[in-house]
Amino acid sequence: MIYCTHPTDFNRVVFSCFIRGVGFAPLNSVIFGFLGDCVEYGQYKFHIRTEGLIFSGGSIGYKLGTGMCGAFITWLMSMSGYVSSTTANAIQPQSAIDMIVNIYIFGMIIIWVSLLLVLSMYKLDKEYPAIMEELSRREARGEM
């Protein structure tokens, strides 16, 4: 529990949590859909369907990224003077509250800008109908 030292801090924390939720929802809802597209592309390109490898790699990557992000956030919180307590009686310094708000707001902005840059280079969605048509033809010929 965070004890805010100023009345407007609570509103900032709640707003930053809302921004975090809005920021993560689209990412978490489509990430594994992209992996399904990669399975189809891999089958089209290399004539081998590797669902297990691609989805397990995606799962490991997601877990590794989450762990590294958690470590980075822990480091940022430590640098801000966050006071850890198992009794929930710790009063956080203003620098720790500011860091929480900044991570939730600016962290989402950084993630979204990065995602927009990466997705601007994603061309598979334009090729996908032709890929699926070719895979259907291969299956009809018994080449799968």
Per-residue pLDDT, averaged over 6-20, amounts to 74
Per cent of the chain over pLDDT 70 is 92
> Is residue 56 situated within a structural domain?
yes
> Is residue 81 situated within a structural domain?
yes
Question: Residue 42 sits in which domain range?
Answer: 8-141
Q: What's the whole-model pTM score?
A: 0.68
**Distance separating alpha carbons of residues 78 and 68, to the nearest angstrom:** 15
pLDDT in tens, 71-129: 999 999 999 999 887 777 778 899 998 998 899 889 888 988 988 898 899 888 889 99
Average pLDDT, whole number, for the chain?
A: 85
> Is residue 2 situated within a structural domain?
no
